Chains A and B, each alone.
Chain A
Amino acid sequence: MRQGEVSALVHSLTLGVVYVPSCELQAFKEELRSSANGGEGELKNSLVSQGMLVVNDVDDEENFIRLRDQLRSKMSLEMMYLLVTDGCNLRCTYCFEESPSVSGSFRAMHMSEEAVVKSLDLFASMTARYGNPQLEKVIHLYGGEPLANRKAVYRAVSYANELKARGSLPDSCRLVIVTNGVLLNEEDAQFFSANAVSVGLSIDGPAFITNLYRVPKRSGINVAERITHAFRLLKKHGVGVGLSVTLTPEAVDHFDEFLAFFTEGEFRAADGASLNLLHYTPHVKLSDDFYRKAVECQIKAFQRFREIGFYEDRIIRKVSAFVDQEPMYADCGVVGRQLVIAPDGRIGVCQDFVKTRTYFPRSVYDTDHDDLLDVLFENWRNRSPFFMTQCTDCPALGICGGGCPASAELKTGDKNNIDERACFHSKRVLEWLVWDAYAAAR
């Protein structure tokens, strides 16, 4: 990539970067064409040291396959999504669950306390066998809206404590509840505080944006007010709160107001946020340049967030891969990192398919789980841009992760296709990172 008179060369696997005056690079390329080894000099030495200049393509291909297989082999079981209900008190405009392919004649169901216990037992035994002891274990209490089945939430937390006391789950195992906040009360906040449960709270910015998309099924509820009330209760009791935020067209169009909401108002007291790029849904019409604008907003938000030390997960994933020079194999846990348990105890790999139970081949009520991971992940372990032929020459391969397979399936009919948002997102963020780092390096 080039900016003015300077070119940047990026190794997509090691994320090494070499900056060189464009005229010198051009001269070097010509020299390389005319003589086999390209002569000697600082540029050649730098390119060799960064693995950008190799003796032959065969070595390069072998290195790629070795790294890919090494990254894949590191995908160990560390997370569980416990879907305590697939019903919800909101009908968010952009919700995947409201897409035509997954709604239809759907009836919500709640997870029983028996299924909660069996799920946690399964997670404890499977992570003991197949997890990496060095990595944190996380149980996500999820839905639907999990607080619509409060009994199961409380049972899951208390039983996780029992498993920790027995040594079946590590003490460091973290519990997170992902909620829209509307049903949250003071007793919940006290309970989460007492049991070190952190909360993912959904809010899309100022009230006029949040209430536009986060629509209650029962009229007369001001969702933004309820979320704010929930946030205050959680902060009052010292509960860790991360904000799940969707970047909507309105957020992009009113970006300064949207950003100030998180950097200057009371929500700045959150522990972090995720600014999610709105995924494909037939219910929201997006302009052709929406993703381009949304990624620019995400970058601008990060520039402000890093000044005030506010953690934004979506971009940090890519920034961390770049900073640590550790390529990211997959964004999504479907490559072997997660179990998803439906309310009836069916075991799957992706919560976005819970209503249809697609990809939920087993149950917590099965008596034998010996081959569970092979059955679950057989067709998912390779769902990485490292296995997508159209991605192998992409400069952003090392920071990409391939986006969301469910979104790719909804849009294209095949989970192994590219999630087009990730493609644009990764390339643009890489370009920004390379030149932002250059400002510090020169």
Chain B
Amino acid sequence: RVIVLQPGNRVKVMGNVRC
């Protein structure tokens, strides 16, 4: 199926992260 990547799934790549 076609999936458009949504912000809620994008942010998961951050995991627990917030010379």
Q: Do B10 and A309 touch (CB < 8 A)?
A: no
Q: Do B3 and A442 touch (CB < 8 A)?
A: yes
Please give, as numbers and ranges, the residues of chain B lying within 8 Å of A20 by CB-CB distance. Answer: 2-3
Q: Do A306 and B11 touch (CB < 8 A)?
A: no
Please give, as numbers and ranges, the residues of chain A lying within 8 Å of B10 by CB-CB distance. Answer: 322-323, 325, 437
Which stretch, A31-39, A43-51, A221-229, A280-288, touches the partner chain B?
A: A43-51
Q: Restricting to A21-58, which residues have a CB under 8 Å from any CB of B?
A: 21, 24, 42-43, 46, 49-50
Please give, as numbers and ranges, the residues of chain A lying within 8 Å of B12 by CB-CB distance. Answer: 437, 440
The answer to whether the Cβ of A255 comes within 8 Å of any Cβ in the partner chain is: no
Q: Restricting to B1-19, which residues have a CB under 8 Å from any CB of A?
A: 1-7, 9-19
Distance (Å) between the CB of B14 and the closest chain A CB?
A: 6
The answer to whether the Cβ of A353 comes within 8 Å of any Cβ in the partner chain is: no
A316-B17, A323-B10 given; A17·B5 CB < 8 A = yes
Q: Do A433 and B13 touch (CB < 8 A)?
A: yes
The answer to whether the Cβ of A274 comes within 8 Å of any Cβ in the partner chain is: yes
Please give, as numbers and ranges, the residues of chain B lying within 8 Å of A108 by CB-CB distance. Answer: none
Seen from chain A, the residues whose Cβ lies within 8 Å of a Cβ on chain B are: 16-21, 24, 42-43, 46, 49-50, 178, 200, 202, 244, 274, 276, 305-312, 316, 319, 322-323, 325, 433, 436-438, 440-442
Seen from chain B, the residues whose Cβ lies within 8 Å of a Cβ on chain A are: 1-7, 9-19
Q: List 15 A-B contacts (CB under 8 A).
A: A16-B5, A18-B2, A18-B3, A19-B3, A20-B2, A20-B3, A21-B1, A24-B2, A43-B2, A274-B19, A276-B19, A311-B18, A316-B17, A437-B5, A441-B3
